[in-house]
């Protein structure tokens, strides 16, 4: 069960404020092959783990792309997509589409949001708890160094306190979830052979400077991790 938390502020009033603060966990079977995020080629224009390639390489704005996806959304299993246009002449824009929710994508207002294995801001207890911890860090973001902000966000995403009881999670997973419910209901999932194997933090400051930090499990060993950081500036 992946989880993503983010604060969107398209017009920060302070020079020290962030336009976007995002923290996410990828939960997966530990032995499933995967690649770390990296720049695709020497142009250094796409930094990704090779997902949502159509949007990253298309010449479409975020809403138009999600609108195109929504036309065929009913053909697929449940999914959520967030797409953003940052540093555009019209200002920052983030759009959301979930194919089990509204039929068309929506523009998101400034604020703090959370997403897990359901629709945006579905009030699962682990998601609400995550937003609470995330909000407490975000409130102090202008007082912290960038390095300390990343460190505190990673601490939030590695919280293993189960948020129970939560009938919504149990009902969705039914018999598959019940045996591991006490692990599954935490922000950071730790089950035998399955759980949180990647933490990602993305910061975009008021001047368009991006810090992308990814922490990956090595060799399916929960005691071995590798952290990579990329820094660059958005195109104007």
Q: Note the pLDDT tens digit of each residue in 143-170.
A: 999 999 999 999 999 999 999 998 888 7
Q: Structurally, how many domains does the chain consist of? A: 1
Q: Which domain holds residue 57?
A: 3-233
pTM above 0.85, yes or no: yes
Q: Are 23 and 214 in contact (CB under 8 A)?
A: no
Report how far residue 65's alpha carbon sits from residue 19's, in angstroms, rounded to the nearest whole number: 22
CA–CA distances in Å: residue 220 to residues 92, 105, 177: 38, 36, 22
Cis, peptide link before residue 165, omega less than 30° from 0: yes
15-41 pLDDT, tens digit each: 889 999 999 999 999 999 888 888 887
Q: Are 151 and 145 in contact (CB under 8 A)?
A: no
39-75 pLDDT, tens digit each: 887 778 888 878 577 888 888 999 999 999 999 998 8
Strand partners, 84: 94
Vertex 149 angle, CA 143 and 151, to 5°: 145
For residues 176-181, average pLDDT: 74
Q: Are 200 and 193 in contact (CB under 8 A)?
A: no
CATH of the domain at 214: 3.60.60
């Amino acid at each position: 069960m992946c989880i993503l938390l983010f604060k969107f502020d398209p017009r920060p009033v302070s020079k020290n404020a962030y336009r976007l603060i995002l923290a996410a966990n990828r939960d997966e079977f530990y032995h499933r092959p995967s690649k770390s995020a990296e720049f695709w080629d020497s142009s250094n224009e796409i930094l990704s783990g090779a997902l949502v390639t159509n949007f990253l390489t298309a010449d479409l704005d975020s809403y138009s792309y999600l609108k195109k996806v929504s036309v065929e959304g009913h053909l697929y299993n449940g999914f959520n997509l967030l797409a953003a246009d940052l540093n555009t002449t019209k200002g920052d824009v983030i759009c959301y589409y979930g194919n089990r929710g509204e039929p068309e994508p929506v523009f998101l207002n400034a604020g703090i949001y959370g997403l897990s294995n359901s629709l945006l801001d579905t009030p699962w207890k682990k998601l609400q708890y995550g937003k609470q911890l995330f909000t407490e860090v975000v409130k102090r973001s202008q007082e912290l160094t960038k390095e300390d902000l990343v460190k505190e966000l990673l601490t939030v995403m590695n919280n293993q306190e189960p948020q129970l009881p939560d009938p919504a999670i149990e009902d969705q997973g039914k018999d598959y979830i019940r045996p591991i419910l006490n692990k599954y209901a935490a922000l950071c999932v730790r089950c035998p052979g399955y759980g949180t194997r990647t933490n990602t933090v993305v910061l975009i400051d008021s001047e368009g400077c991006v810090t992308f930090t990814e922490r990956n499990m090595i060799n399916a060993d929960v005691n071995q991790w590798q952290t990579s950081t990329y820094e660059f500036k958005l195109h104007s």
